[in-house]
Amino acid sequence: MIRDNIEEYVRSIPDFPEKGIIFRDVTSVLQDADGLRMAIDEMQKKLEGLEFDKIAGLESRGFIFGMPIAYNLHKPFVLVRKKGKLPCETISESYDLEYGKAEIELHKDAVLPGEKVVIIDDLIATGGTVAAAANLIERLGGDVVKMVFLMELAGLNGRDKLQKYDVESVISYEGK
């Protein structure tokens, strides 16, 4: 059954991973052909009229949404991966998690100086991962011209870390 808006495809799971949290499950979007098409189409609309050279997707759900958009727009796709997953020479950036640190990497030749890059991911929460990805792109001389997310957990204030960027999300949830 085709639904009227993308929010209707997102499954909300109360009290996961802990009491008081509503988990927004993207797998329910991916498992429905109409929901998946709508999600990709709505994210792609956020790029209309924008001049850019490449799309970067964050592991792993950024690959799911970014790759078909790159394909549709005939743009190269850049993988931003967890440390140790890329085979060639890389640069890395660490960032804070709720309980510890993580690190992501980018091939040194993935972005050339002056290239305009759009970052795609499924979710913006605290903004730490995407801020680290933007730093990697900028360290290579790229220019992050937009960030597009399917969902945003506005209550976690991820936009605060991304104030210098053009950030858009298809769905915004007020809570955490």
Q: What is the set of active-site residues?
A: 61, 98
Structure tokens at 12: 């909300």
Is the Cβ–Cβ distance between 76 and 53 less than 8 Å?
yes
Tokens 């190269």 label which residue? 76
145: left (phi over 0), alpha (psi -120 to 50) or beta: alpha
Helices (H), 74-166: 128-139
Cα–Cα distance measured from residue 5 to residue 144, given in angstroms and rounded to the nearest whole number: 29
Q: Phi and psi dihedrals of 62, rounded to 5?
A: -65, -25
Residue 154 vs residues 12, 20, 73, 174: alpha-carbon distances, Å: 16, 16, 29, 5
Q: Is 77 helix (H, G, I), strand (E, B) or coil?
A: strand
